[in-house]
A = this chain, B = another copy of it.
Amino acid sequence: MLDDRKLAVLRAIVEDFVSTNEPVGSKSLVDRHNLDVSPATIRNDMAVLEEQGYIVQPHTSAGRIPTDKGYRLFVDRLSGIKPFSAAERRAIETFLAGAYDLDDVVMRTVRLLAQLTRQVAVVQYPSLSKSAVRHIELVPLAERRLLLVLITDTGRVEQRNVELPGSFDEDSIMHLRAVLNACLDGRKLTDVASIVSDLPERVAPRERANAAAVFSVIIETLVARHEEKVVVGGASNLTAADFSQGLREVLEALEEQVVLMRLLGESDDQSSVTVRIGAENDVLGLRAASVVAAGYGSGDRALAKLGVVGPTRMDYPTAMGAVRAVARYTGQILAES
């Protein structure tokens, strides 16, 4: 139904359009790529491709541009992931290795990704729910207030204030801290809630009111507030040229944490790079955008996602290569720390 040459034509159209941002015609195709057939032949092929919905012409007497369906075919069957050179990989590695901090890792990752792809980069913090407790700390702040600090094995630190119903003394706090760490250390955060609910028995009755306050904050931190943090960078790579609908809406979407989560989310398979093209991502206002995303994590489990957002007219092979490489190295850095 689509012979080899037609596929080659589609690939050529996508490549040319991506690099020039102008509708591509039969003539320019034949001499830019060395297809050894005449323009007329190409035109016939194009007619077929258009009929099947892979390309369209913006107006009569203009060249063709790929449709979402066209890009999809391109990504699925016509292009690979462009691998990075050893030098590039080394540069990525050393840039990320300079980070001294989880925050810093994420920041560097987002910058790097934005720079490599010249698109908007989106990086999700290592998810709370998939990581494990490394340490819990209770710090007295005031008469009836504690600071609860929860450290995960990915280096993420969550902090919450706890208002206590009653006053407390140092000893009871020490004890509570010991109990918490004994019971929770190393446990998956997803399991913590159920463990905590069994805990009250293990503290002296006098202390239960205060302990309960602490426990409920822990649960709240883990469950109620599992909205993950997402960081965006490279917004200046957005140009009004793409996004005819006006990039205001794109900017708006990028400011909504929830939207970003949806954008990255869903596909839960580990490390492979996923591409969502145009209307495929159901976010309103990003109908003209594509998302290239991948999971990253220390070890084999995917802790969180990262990716880039750009116009459907995007250099997918390169973007996919960058996302894959960055995901890999970021995961590696996290595993080491």
Contact = CB atoms under 8 A, between A and B. Distances in A.
Interface string A155-170: 1010111000000000
Contacts of A147: 135, 151, 155, 157
A42 B137 CA distance: 70
A173 interface: no
A175 interface: no
A157 B161 contact: no
Interface of A: 100-102, 134-135, 137, 139, 141, 147, 149, 151, 155, 157, 159-161, 233-236, 238-240, 248-249, 251-252, 254-255, 337
Contacts of A134: 139, 141
Contacts of A254: 235-236
Contact of A251 (B101, B137, B238): B238
Given A134-B139, A149-B157, A236-B252, 19 more contacts: A100-B161, A101-B159, A101-B161, A102-B159, A135-B139, A135-B141, A135-B147, A137-B137, A137-B149, A139-B151, A147-B155, A147-B157, A149-B151, A235-B254, A235-B255, A236-B248, A236-B249, A236-B251, A238-B248
What are the nearest 8 A-B pairs in CB distance?
A236-B251, A236-B252, A135-B139, A157-B159, A235-B251, A137-B137, A236-B248, A240-B240
Contacts of A100: 160-161
Nearest to A239: B248
A283 to B, nearest CB: 14
Contacts of A252: 236
A37 to B, nearest CB: 41
B255 A233 contact: yes
Contacts of A238: 248, 251
Contacts of A159: 101-102, 151, 155, 157
A155 B151 contact: no
A255 B114 CA distance: 12
Contacts of A249: 236
30 contacts: A101-B159, A101-B160, A101-B161, A102-B159, A134-B139, A134-B141, A135-B141, A135-B147, A137-B137, A137-B139, A137-B149, A139-B151, A147-B151, A149-B149, A149-B157, A151-B159, A155-B159, A157-B159, A233-B255, A234-B255, A235-B235, A235-B251, A235-B254, A236-B248, A236-B252, A236-B254, A236-B255, A238-B248, A239-B248, A240-B240
Contacts of A236: 248-249, 251-252, 254-255
Contacts of A149: 137, 149, 151, 157
Nearest to A240: B240
Nearest to A147: B151
A337 B157 contact: no
A173 to B, nearest CB: 12
